[in-house]
A and B are shown apart, each in its own frame.
Chain A
Amino acid sequence: MKIRKFLRNWHRDLGYFSVGILVIYCISGIYLNHRHDFNPDYKIFYSEFKVDIEAKNSYTREEISNILSDLEREVIYKKHYIANNGNIKVFIESGEVEINPTTGEGAMRYLQRRALVYEMNHLHKATIIKTWKWISDVLAVIILFVTISGLFILKGKYGLKGRGWWVTLLGILVPLFFMILYI
């Protein structure tokens, strides 16, 4: 039974090793699953306001900065321009503001990164350096080994020849059911 001992030892060590990446994949996986319900990377704060402003063809940075300084949230001006629809479009650090110079009505969209989740999502999507793609491939192979080796560690009625088989089958049937029905 050397093979079972080999599997147990490597399953144990690589299992410990996989904890970090599995936690990342699971947490970010939940957020990414709900990408149509909310933005998985950012919390978005949306607010409307009204300002006194004179409608004209151009505005200086100072004029726009003065308007921004009256807003509830403290924001940092980046750049502005007059959009095709005549509104003033202002880019701020982590967001944007749009002001209708005729009515004085404005709206602000302010973004705040979801701490840790933002980074986890990028690791999950492999949208960082190319090297990460290969590292995450290796980690995926390790997780695959931990998963497969786990099937063959236990002997007896709780092993793959007994209860293990039925529980494994159940776990396979859940995604298989949705695959057959909806794909």
Chain B
Amino acid sequence: MKKFAFLIIAIVVLASCSSQKKEQVAEEPEAVVYTVDNLYENAESLVNKEVVVKGTVMHVCKESGARCFIMGSNEDMIIRVEAGEDIGAFTQEQMGSDLEITGVFTEVTTEAEAHNPDHGEEQVEDAETEAAHETIVEAQEATEIVYFIKGLKAKELAPDPQEETSDEG
């Protein structure tokens, strides 16, 4: 019995060590950090490339946190980020936080990739969610080509103290 317990503990420790090791290896030299606005300006040249983008989380998919929408200078500058297996899930608490996302900038080419929050599996339980969905759909409809990011890594940025004292809106 002791052997059995020891074996299980050893497997769990080894598994968690190997994942930590992988995270350490993932440290990379600093890349160009785009804003959502910059990303759209350079969309053609960046498509299918790994990019780093930062923006404010304006909506997180409620049911699973499988995707979030980050915003640039205004509500018309929104991009969807799919958490995928690498990020796992976004949390509702991340709404309003600034995130730095590393991921593959991708053009929506199939119906499966075009996650439309109004027709998806996400339930609408309040006016705020409904309004966020409308904003996202309007922003998507305003563009000829819809892009999204296949997320690989997400880092929460500390609030910018300069921004806190300035006028916004």
Contact = CB atoms under 8 A, between A and B. Distances in A.
Q: Do A and B come from one complex?
A: yes
B83 to A, nearest CB: 7
5 contacts: A59-B169, A60-B167, A83-B131, A111-B93, A134-B15
- Enumerate the 3 nearest inter-chain pairs by beta-carbon distance, A residue then B residue, closest first: A91-B96, A58-B169, A127-B89
A83 B86 contact: no
Interface string A60-103: 11000000000000000011111111001001111110100000
Contacts of A13: 1, 4
Contacts of A61: 164-165, 168
B92 A94 contact: yes
Interface of A: 13, 17, 35-36, 39-42, 44, 46, 57-61, 78-85, 88, 91-96, 98, 107, 109, 111, 122, 125, 127-131, 133-135, 138
A62 B86 CA distance: 38
B2 to A, nearest CB: 12
Contacts, number: 101
A84 B126 contact: no
Nearest to B1: A13
Interface residues of B, number: 44
Given A44-B126, A79-B56, 15 more contacts: A13-B1, A13-B4, A46-B126, A60-B166, A61-B165, A94-B92, A95-B95, A96-B95, A127-B65, A127-B83, A128-B88, A129-B88, A130-B19, A131-B19, A138-B11
B92 A41 contact: yes
Contacts of B95: 91, 95-96
Contacts of A81: 74-75, 168-169
Given A13-B1, A130-B85, A131-B18, A84 B93 contact: no
Interface in B23-79: 56, 62-66, 74-76
A13 B4 CA distance: 9
Contacts of B168: 58-61, 79-82
Interface string B154-169: 0000010001111111
Nearest to A84: B75
B16 interface: yes
A150 to B, nearest CB: 19
B116 interface: no
A61 B161 CA distance: 11
Given A13-B4, A83-B135, A39 B169 contact: no
A93 B159 CA distance: 12
A135 B12 contact: yes
Nearest to A93: B93
A111 B96 CA distance: 13
Contacts of A41: 65, 92
B169 A82 contact: yes
